[in-house]
Homo-oligomer: A and B are copies of this chain.
Amino acid sequence: MDNINKYVVSVAENARKSALMLMKANTHIKNSALKTMINLIGTQRDKIKTENKIDLDNGAKNGLSKAMIDRLKLNDKRIDGIITSLKELIELPDPVSETIKKWQRPNGMNIEKVRVPIGVIGIIYESRPNVTVDAASLCLKTGNATILRGGKEAFYSNLVLTKILQDALRQTGLPTESIQLIETTDRAAVGEMLKLSQYIDLIIPRGGEGLIRRVVNESTIPVIKHYKGVCHLYADSELDTEQAVSIIINAKVQRPGVCNALETLLVNQNIADTFIPKICNALAKENVEIRGDEKVCNLFKNAVPATEEDWYTEYLDLILSVKTVKNVDEAIEHIEKYGSRHSDGILTTDTKTAKYFLSGVDSAAVYHNVSTRFTDGGQFGMGAEIGVSTDKLHARGPMGLEELTSYKFIVTGNGQIRT
């Protein structure tokens, strides 16, 4: 592409224009567009798979790993998954136009705080092409225009999906440029995009830590980050052992590759002698490798000594670091130092200690006698989510439809002036 800057600016300008129209779109028309998307994805299934095959073939040629190729793949099952998500999204309430608060001032003027779309949202993501539909549809439902920048490995898949979404917008009578893909794989396009704060209101990067750090370093647009989850459970001295074992196994094993899976177990030293062998044996049966401190290695012979690095690590795998701590304070300090403020829990029958932990740990979600695996928009009952924010500004934890909105103040009166 000759002039990347010009191209990206024109995409962003068109997005802003579309956003101003989408701002006023009602729920019915937005849902109609989502329904049309379902139809078109269904009828153009073969075309999607054909374009996806180009990406898969290129990926194989370029030596992508098997895991990468798998993530890239759009088979019937995955296309069905995309359609199911769209169907669920239609059923969710539209937060836009909701009156958050309403009051009258002594001078008689009325103030209404009303939920409005954010405006233009840039999504920068890696290889999974289903993000194209997921992110764009969540943004559409909340009246936001989307600029999508997918990974180059999924270029043809993203392109065909975007064209289908745009067809659906056209058929519904909504501006087609409500959803746009950056149609070049030139890396410079991302840099250009991240400087256009006059058109783009928010950037959501979805991918590994490297991608997110690059975006944060370059962006002058607000970014909501979805960093890693180094999640902890602290097994207190007052323990329901069976319940604790069941929660720890679930948090580590049920789906180890996700951000809310357990990465470090902290055990109160008073119960170490009995509890550590018990839990380590149970974990070993599930093929979990234990990396422990000295005490853990003494109590469980198959444990590998943990390094300093281990305590910071999000394994996303069947590996667990285990450490003994003196008390709840040491547990909180460990989480503060090594954690990622994502999801951390305490296992105890002592309500007082639980409260102390829940208020002392500064994480998006804190748990008492519950698996950390519940940090998720669906599990929290929010419906869809665009990710789990590890930021504290605007959205923290699961980021659903409401978190894709802003607000404005509508002030009405009959001639009020300031004196």
Contacts and interface: CB of A to CB of B under 8 A. Distances in A.
Interface of A: 20, 23-24, 103, 105, 109, 111, 116, 118-119, 197, 201-202, 216-217, 220, 222-224, 240, 243, 246-247, 250-251, 254, 336, 345, 354, 358-360, 362-371, 373-375, 379-381, 391-394, 396-397, 406-419
Lowest 8 CB-CB distances: which A-B pairs, in order?
A: A250-B417, A370-B413, A392-B406, A373-B418, A394-B394, A243-B415, A365-B409, A368-B412
Contact of A412 (B254, B370, B414): B370
Contacts of A216: 197, 220
A154 B370 CA distance: 52
Nearest to A195: B217
Given A217-B220, A394-B394, A250 B418 contact: yes
25 contacts: A105-B379, A105-B381, A118-B392, A197-B216, A201-B393, A243-B415, A247-B417, A254-B417, A254-B419, A354-B412, A358-B412, A364-B409, A365-B408, A365-B411, A366-B408, A368-B410, A369-B413, A369-B414, A369-B415, A369-B416, A370-B411, A371-B416, A392-B406, A394-B394, A397-B409
B254 A20 contact: no
A149 to B, nearest CB: 19
A65 B371 CA distance: 62
A374 B416 contact: yes
A362 B119 contact: yes
A128 B379 CA distance: 48
Most buried by B among A216, A359, A397, A412: A412
Contacts of A243: 414-415
Contacts of A409: 364-366, 375, 380, 397
Given A392-B118, A394-B393, A408 B363 contact: yes
